[in-house]
């Protein structure tokens, strides 16, 4: 299925499952996809920062993409193709589209600074991968150190017709969403899908500011999907109640570096993946941290149920 400016809903960011010895665990991909579908996912995003993409060999990346595409059936799969050079980006992008991916996601190089450098980079990237591949802008200043103003994002979208989506991960970022939606209202920006990432710490209000859904790696994707649906149905208080029940854990996951360890641990405890192994370099979870997550999970079970009453 293709990706376009109307794409919405829940797109989990998938981790890459490994066996305890570091080999790819393809069986866990199958289970992960099953669980995502059960949680109401409308698609999935693979090989993002959370997918440990830079730690994979090129053949592995293709193998992982193929497996997800196969298991997701007709649902769209977005593949992260960010790379230091355009040769590798083009190669990966063309290969995964041939495999059946719905589109690709491109983050800016961390060295980009000025508005012109950023817009120029996206022009070159599109020239490299080809104008026929739908792509997603990843706007993640906290990790990438690249700051894109709403005007810069608008320029990228207007200059590149194959841009169909913004993965919004600015922090703080609520005003940015309002500014972009305002551009659409005043006619200076064509329609664009905005899914929001950034750990989901502001999903409750991001929905109210006008995003189309969530693209996040939080280990309870069903909560993300439900908050999206509740907000779209105008059930504001219910959405906040459910969201707030998860906020203590969501917040705990939002620790730079150690966050992925927390997520993989929770996903493993929930049976989404067989092992929480990460490839090096990686931050491990201490015994104290694991106990804290266990405590949060115990509290969460009760509070999630109560919020859904």
> What residues line the site for its own copies (CB under 8 A)?
52, 54-58, 60, 83-88, 91, 109-110, 113-117, 121, 124, 128, 147-149, 151-152, 171-172, 174-175, 178, 201-202, 204-205, 208-209, 240, 244, 247-248, 251-252, 255-259, 279-281, 286, 288-289, 292, 299
- For residue 101 the two structure tokens come to 């991916």
- Going across the sheet that includes 163-168, the strands are 9-10, 213-214, 193-196, 163-168, 135-139, 103-106, 77-80, 44-46
Q: Toward its own copies, which CB reaches closer, 113 or 190?
A: 113
Q: Toward its own copies, which CB reaches closer, 123 or 269?
A: 123
Q: Toward its own copies, which CB reaches closer, 27 or 248?
A: 248
Q: Tell me the closest approach of the beta carbon of residue 200 to its own copies, in angstroms.
A: 11
List the one residue out of 233, 176, 223 whose CA is nearest residue 203. 223
Q: How many C-beta atoms surround the C-beta of residue 270 within 10 A?
A: 12
Residues 131, 121: Cα–Cα separation, whole Å = 14
For 93-130, letters b (16+ CB in 10 Å) and e give: bbbbbebbbbbbbbbbbeebeeeeebbebbeebbebbe
Q: Toward its own copies, which CB reaches closer, 35 or 67?
A: 67
Q: Tell me the closest approach of the beta carbon of residue 94 to its own copies, in angstroms.
A: 12
Q: Where are the alpha helices (DSSP H) in the chain?
A: 26-38, 58-72, 86-99, 115-129, 141-144, 150-159, 174-185, 203-209, 221-232, 236-253, 259-269, 287-307
Q: Toward its own copies, which CB reaches closer, 6 or 286?
A: 286
* 3-state class percentages of the chain: helix first, strand second, coil last, to nearest 5: 50, 10, 35
Q: Tell me the closest approach of the beta carbon of residue 73 to its own copies, in angstroms.
A: 29
Q: Tell me the closest approach of the beta carbon of residue 225 to its own copies, in angstroms.
A: 20
Q: Tell me the closest approach of the beta carbon of residue 50 to its own copies, in angstroms.
A: 14
Q: Toward its own copies, which CB reaches closer, 55 or 232?
A: 55
Q: Tell me the closest approach of the beta carbon of residue 133 to its own copies, in angstroms.
A: 17
Q: Toward its own copies, which CB reaches closer, 5 or 86?
A: 86
Q: Tell me the closest approach of the beta carbon of residue 287 to its own copies, in angstroms.
A: 10
């Amino acid at each position: 299925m293709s990706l376009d400016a109307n794409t919405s809903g829940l797109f989990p960011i998938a981790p890459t499952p490994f066996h305890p010895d570091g080999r790819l665990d393809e069986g866990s991909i199958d289970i992960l996809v099953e669980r995502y579908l059960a949680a109401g996912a409308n698609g999935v995003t693979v090989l993002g920062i959370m997918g440990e993409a830079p730690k994979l060999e090129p053949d592995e990346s293709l193998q992982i993409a193929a497996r997800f595409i196969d298991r997701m059936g007709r649902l769209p799969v977005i593949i992260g193709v960010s790379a230091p050079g355009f040769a590798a980006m083009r190669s990966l992008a063309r290969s995964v589209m041939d495999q059946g991916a719905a589109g690709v996601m491109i983050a800016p190089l961390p060295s980009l600074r000025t508005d012109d450098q950023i817009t120029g980079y996206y022009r070159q990237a599109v020239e490299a991968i080809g104008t026929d591949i739908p792509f997603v802008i990843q706007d993640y200043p906290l990790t990438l150190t690249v700051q894109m103003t709403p005007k810069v994002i608008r320029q990228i979208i207007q200059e590149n017709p194959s841009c169909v989506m913004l993965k919004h991960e600015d922090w703080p970022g609520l005003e940015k969403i309002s500014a972009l939606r305002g551009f659409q209202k005043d006619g200076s920006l064509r329609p664009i899908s905005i899914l929001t990432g950034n750990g989901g710490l502001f999903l409750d209000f991001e929905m109210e500011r006008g995003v189309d859904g969530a693209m996040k790696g939080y280990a309870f994707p069903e909560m993300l999907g439900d908050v999206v649906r509740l907000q779209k149905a105008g059930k504001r208080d219910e959405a906040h109640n459910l969201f707030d029940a998860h906020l203590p854990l969501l917040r705990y996951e939002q620790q730079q570096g150690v966050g992925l360890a927390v997520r993989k641990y929770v996903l493993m405890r929930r049976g989404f993946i067989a092992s929480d192994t990460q490839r090096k370099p990686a931050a491990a979870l201490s015994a104290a941290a694991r106990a804290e997550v266990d405590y949060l999970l115990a509290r969460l079970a009760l509070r999630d149920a109560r919020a859904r009453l």
